[in-house]
Amino acid sequence: MIRVYTTALALTCTLSPLAPAGAAGDAQAGKAKAVICSACHGIDGNSTNPLWPKLAGQHEAYLAKQIRAFKSGERTDQTMAPMMLMVKEDDIDDIAAYYASQKPK
């Protein structure tokens, strides 16, 4: 019996680095939270203005990282800075999941 638990523990420790860092966001919840982003990036993340990037279909982890970089000030932009004041830390993963789930056009 001890051997079974030891094997299970060893597998858990070995495989845990392969798991994604942090919990994935909720795309459905992110849809409502992304309203503030939609003015520039489009409702579905497909911006029609070449000055603003399309977010649709980007990798969720990449989007979350960039949103956090803007929020922390690590990455700066005059337009994004005031928008980040309205984004709560708890909402970032959901917003990223929503845009990642959209189809780029």
pTM for the model stands at: 0.78
> Which pLDDT belongs to residue 22?
53
pLDDT of 43 strictly over 80? yes
CATH architecture of the domain formed by 24-101: Orthogonal Bundle (1.10)
At position 50, the amino acid (one-letter code) is P
pLDDT of 77 strictly over 60? yes
